[in-house]
Amino acid sequence: MPTLHRCRTPTDRLCPCGRVARELRRQGIAVDEVRVPWRKARRDEVVALSGQAVVPLLVLDGEAICDSRRIVEHLRWLDARAPAGEPA
**Centroid of chain to Cα 75:** 10
DSSP H or E run through 26: helix 16-26
Query: How many structural domains is the chain composed of?
Result: 1
If phi > 0 it is left, if psi is from -120 to 50 it is alpha, else beta; for residue 20 that is alpha
Percent of the chain with pLDDT over 90: 80
Please report which confidence band the pLDDT of residue 81 belongs to, taking 50, 70 and 90 as the band edges: confident
The domain that contains 16 carries what CATH number? 3.40.30.10
Residue 17 lies in a domain: yes
Domain enclosing residue 18, as ranges: 3-81
Please report which confidence band the pLDDT of residue 8 belongs to, taking 50, 70 and 90 as the band edges: very high
pTM of the shown model = 0.89
Cβ–Cβ under 8 Å, residues 87 and 31:
no
Report the sign of the C-alpha dihedral through residues 71, 27, 5, 81, in that order: negative
